Structure 1
Amino acid sequence: MAPLSHPSDASATLGKLARRALVTAGPALAQPHLQHLTRRGLSVNHTQGVTLGVIGAYVVIIALLWNIPYVKYVLWPFKMLVIAFHEFGHAITACCTGGRVKSISLDPNEGGVTHMLGGIQAITLPAGYLGSSLIGALLTFCGFNIVASKIASIVLGVCFLLTLWWARKDWLTIVTIILAIGLLVAGWFIKHGEALRFIVLFIGVMSSLYSVWDICDDLILRKVNESDASVFAKRYGGSSQCWGVLWSLVSIFFMIGGILAGLAAFKQSFKQQQDDAKDVLPTIRMLLRV
């Protein structure tokens, strides 16, 4: 059986990427004016323009499907997925602040709950919305590039496994996470991961805007009393609507930051991205070598 990959191949590919970045940035670095460099760094090429158009389409489609009766159930699996991100944000911050997670469950009515002991609630309460927004921004950033999307999918897999461990008694959570992992794996095998890029991008946009739409539904439109924002307001002052709007603004800021970072970092065309993906974390070619 031939080896799956060779360290020198990965090193050579990374070196090629670095040289390409220098060639691309070289003319800009030679300019004496920083303003020109800034404009060049945030310029949009054809591939990035397509990605921005896809992001805009995702926002419109998600917004429409979120509010249309019956049709909105098309988004249900993805809502369950971003709710899993939300609960993961509560869980991981609880562990990082000295708490312990007892269980995670997702509710069929598009809700979730994390049972935990201890932790610093001033951090764990907003970590659900802000955590899912940060994950969404990172996924949106990675969605500008195939190789970055592959790496993001691996990190997502680890997060899913942790969530699966905490939710091992809740069948809905288990099924949702297994389907999400299957979707990511399937994306690896289409054009060396090009489909994976748009899957990661969709999940990123959905996760970034989830807190905005969910807070509007719960606190502004339906005015549901029990939410992370309302519990936070009872414990630390202020109104739930105020905290909800603040967390929504932070979520939008995260998403914009992810988009700008993606524009600045990933300048490759679709063809260049596919060529890079063939050598970095290969999929089909790796299987053919076995």
Structure 2
Amino acid sequence: MQRAIQARALQQESSTHHLARRSLAPNSTQKVTLGVIGAYVGLIAILWNIPYVKYVLWPWKMLTIAFHEFGHAATGCCTGAKIKSITLDPREGGCTMMAGGWGPLTLCAGYLGSSFIGAALIACGFNIVASKVCSFVLAGGFLITLWWSRRDWLTIVTILFAVGLLIACWFIAHGAALRFYVLFMGTMSSLYSVWDIFDDLILRKVNESDASVFAKRYGGSSACWGVIWAIISLAFMACGILIGLAAFKESFSEQAADSKDFLPTRMMMAMLTRA
């Protein structure tokens, strides 16, 4: 009887310890990650609005636009559409041409799709191994987008730049740089819809934004839909941060040790050399 009570007490203690490990209270490593996310938010917000200096962000804006268009195209495929092409505009625009699909969902999927991808990137950015896994998913999405946009030189160059940067980050400190790159892309993608909606509907008042097209087809005002999508995008970002806090409690040293054993850089170098 006494042994059974002791066993039950040990089980409860183990369960409590497990819950404590998965709590949302950030440890020292996660506090650094949150600080990096905050720094990214501030840096991007500043660079986004300074004349001429804002062109520093241009390659990454093109990448987030690629995520945006991928959201349209992927949702179109899931709802029966045939994707004709994807193009990126040097003036920071994009267009996905498709036939068929469910209009209400495919129109929403641009901003919300890029925000969802951004949230997933932020969650993975809390851990090096998760960032490595995420990089394969990213590369696959980029290559699919490359196939759809194979006639547009700007999209081709932008996507090849993104894939090249992903590969380069693999070989810096066993993928530690990849983690911070994934965090940056996640922050950029999560907030892109908020900033872009603000630009389109308040500053520039673009007539053919996704929100204005949605309003013309299905009612309401473009500003209303834009605000709703922006709020959902921020909610996605918050969820990504909470998932990262709950799932990845390892310290920097523990992450580095795990990363050395998960597809080590020597193995990757050998694979690239053979290819």
**Separation of aligned partners in 1, 2:108 and 2:14:** 41
Between 279-288 and 108-117, the greater mean CA deviation after superposition? 279-288
How far is 1:27 from its partner?
5.0
Q: Within the alignment, does 1:82 sit opposite 2:64 as a pair? A: yes
Match in the other structure for 2:202: 220
Gaps of 5+ in 1: 1-25
Over 3 Å counting, the alpha-carbon distance change for 1:180 and 1:221 in structure 2 is: same
Match in the other structure for 2:16: 30
How far is 1:225 from its partner?
1.4
Over 3 Å counting, the alpha-carbon distance change for 1:264 and 1:27 in structure 2 is: farther
User: Which of these residues, 205, 209, 221, is aligned with residue 191 of structure 2?
Assistant: 209
Match in the other structure for 2:238: 256
> CA-to-partner distance for each residue in 1:160-203, whole Å, 9 max, x for gaps?
01000011000000000000000000010011100000000000
Superposition pairs of residues 15-94 of structure 1, within 5 angstroms: 29-30=15-16, 37=19, 41-94=23-76
- Aligned pairs, how many? 262
Contact 2:22/2:247 (<8 A) preserved? no
Contact 1:28/1:40 (<8 A) preserved? no
Q: Within the alignment, does 1:196 sit opposite 2:178 as a pair? A: yes
User: What letter corresponds to residue 108 of structure 1 in structure 2?
Assistant: P
Match in the other structure for 2:257: 275
User: Which of these residues, 122, 127, 137, is aligned with residue 155 of structure 1?
Assistant: 137
Contact 2:117/2:186 (<8 A) preserved? yes
Contact 1:147/1:281 (<8 A) preserved? no
User: What letter corresponds to residue 146 of structure 1 in structure 2?
Assistant: I
User: Which of these residues, 69, 94, 98, is aligned with residue 116 of structure 1?
Assistant: 98
**Runs of 4+ residues over 6 Å off in structure 1:** none
User: What letter corresponds to residue 252 of structure 1 in structure 2?
Assistant: L
How far is 1:49 from its partner?
0.5
Superposition pairs of residues 106-185 of structure 1, within 5 angstroms: 106-185=88-167
Gaps of 5+ in 2: 1-11
Match in the other structure for 1:229: 211
**Separation of aligned partners in 1, 2:59 and 2:66:** 11
How far is 1:87 from its partner?
0.2
How far is 1:40 from its partner?
6.3
The TM-score, its normalising length taken from structure 2, stands at 0.91
How far is 1:283 from its partner?
1.6
Match in the other structure for 1:23: none
Match in the other structure for 2:9: none
The TM-score, its normalising length taken from structure 1, stands at 0.87
Over 3 Å counting, the alpha-carbon distance change for 1:116 and 1:286 in structure 2 is: closer
**Separation of aligned partners in 2, 1:288 and 1:229:** 48
